[in-house]
Amino acid sequence: MRKAKKVGVLTLLMSLMLVTACGSNNGATTKENANQPDKTTTEATVATDKKIVFGFSQVGAESGWRTANTTSIQDSAKEAGIDLKFSDAQQKQENQIKALRSFIQQKVDVIGFSPVVESGWDTVLKEAKDAGIPVILTDRSVDSTDTSLYVTFLGSDFVLEGQKAGEWLVEEYKDTTDQVNIVELQGTTGSAPAIDRKEGFEAAIKDHSNLKIITSQTGDFTRAKGKEVMQAFLKANKDIDVLYAHNDDMALGAIQAIEAAGLKPGVDIKIITVDGIKDGFQAASEGKINFIVECNPLFGGQLMEAVKGVVEGKELPKRTVTEEGTFTIEQAKEALPNRKY
């Protein structure tokens, strides 16, 4: 089972690397041969060949996952020879709407964005549609009932991630009927990963009445907030057994609060997280995080393929789910040296 999952992740990584390798090679060839007379035509073709202009609105830089995602998108655009107009919304929907409107005004070829929250996109998406600009959703989706407002959605299955987290917990406590007190650090309020990771987790533990979420609050996917909210949790509750954090960064902040309170993360309080950034793996290999559900941000290559596909008029699947695994402390130790993000 795990082996199969690992193979899936490996295949994905290898295909991403392949896309990367092909892209950089092409660029190098054009430059290297620039002085050779028989390449003049190549140069002329490159010069007149209109580059695809891709406007992308990113959520922000709130987490290690996000910065890895941004790097992947920027590097892949360069490798694919796509002109990327990148805009950082600093976790604010109004900034994203402004960015999308500006892309429409600039008449970019394709718009991409990772919606900070699920709701409230219909108007601006209709504006893009009326302007004839196709929209690709990445990472997070929208709750619009009109799916014609975007061409394709590329990203993880967040409900499944929450479910994997909950299933580990059920297994971990299968031999006890004592109450297990869980505290939950949610992601950004109203965001798809916060909503879905909560839903999947709750569904997985619902038949085990001793597994109880005693308190749940947003930590906005950041370390600082994760620390602050965990401090408040620890003040209000003397008996916390488990922390379920919707991402590594919040858990890493919470670990500082737990240690400051004189408790041992991973032992006195078991910790489950989502993402699988290097710092998370580091904490897991030190035994401070007990279980990581992977969420892969390295889909820049796939995204650029989709951008090109849309421009070429190819039919794209409405939904592409990124493949992901899970890691216990032992598995995290083994995988840490080869983590790519």
Rg of the chain over Cα atoms, rounded to whole angstroms, equals 22
Kindly tell me which of 53 and 230 has the beta carbon lying closer to ligand GYE: 230
Q: How many residues does the chain have?
A: 341
Residues that bind ligand GYE (rule: CB under 6 A) add up to a total of: 13
**Position among 23, 55, 166, 193 found at the interface with ligand GYE (CB under 6 A):** 193
Comparing CB distances to ligand GYE, the nearer of 168 and 173 is 168
Each residue 270-289 as x (binds ligand GYE by CB under 6 A) or -, in order, gives ----xx--------------
Does 139 bind ligand GYE (CB under 6 A)? Our answer is: yes
- Return the number of the residue (252 or 258) whose C-beta is nearest ligand GYE: 252
Smallest separation (angstroms) from ligand GYE to the CB of 96: 13
Nearest to 138 by CA among 156, 119, 118: 156
- Exactly one of 12, 292, 295, 304 binds ligand GYE (CB under 6 A); that residue is 295
CB of 194 to ligand GYE, least distance (A): 9
- Report residue 71 as tokens: 């790097």
Give the whole-angstrom CA distance, residue 281 versus residue 332: 6
- Least Cβ distance, residue 13 to ligand GYE (angstroms): 18
Q: Which is nearer to ligand GYE, 62 or 184 (CB)?
A: 62
* Distance between CA atoms of residues 248 and 155, nearest Å: 18
Asked if residues 336 and 170 have their Cβ atoms less than 8 Å apart, the reply is no
Minimum Å gap between C-beta 165 and ligand GYE is 12
* Residue with smaller CB distance to ligand GYE, 54 or 65: 65
**What whole-number distance in Å separates Cα of residue 103 and Cα of residue 152?**
18
User: Using an 8 Å Cβ cutoff, are 304 and 136 in contact?
Assistant: no
Query: Where do the H-state alpha helices sit in the chain?
Result: 2-32, 40-48, 64-80, 93-105, 122-130, 158-172, 192-205, 223-236, 248-260, 278-285, 300-311, 329-335
- The torsion angles phi and psi of 328, rounded to 5 degrees, stand at -85, 180
Q: Residues 194 to 223: which contact ligand GYE by CB under 6 A?
A: 221
**Which of these segments, 62-70, 124-132, 146-154, 280-288, binds ligand GYE (CB under 6 A)?**
62-70
Amino acid code (one letter) for 37: P
Applying CB under 6 A, which residues contact ligand GYE?
62-63, 65-66, 139-140, 193, 221, 247, 249, 274-275, 295
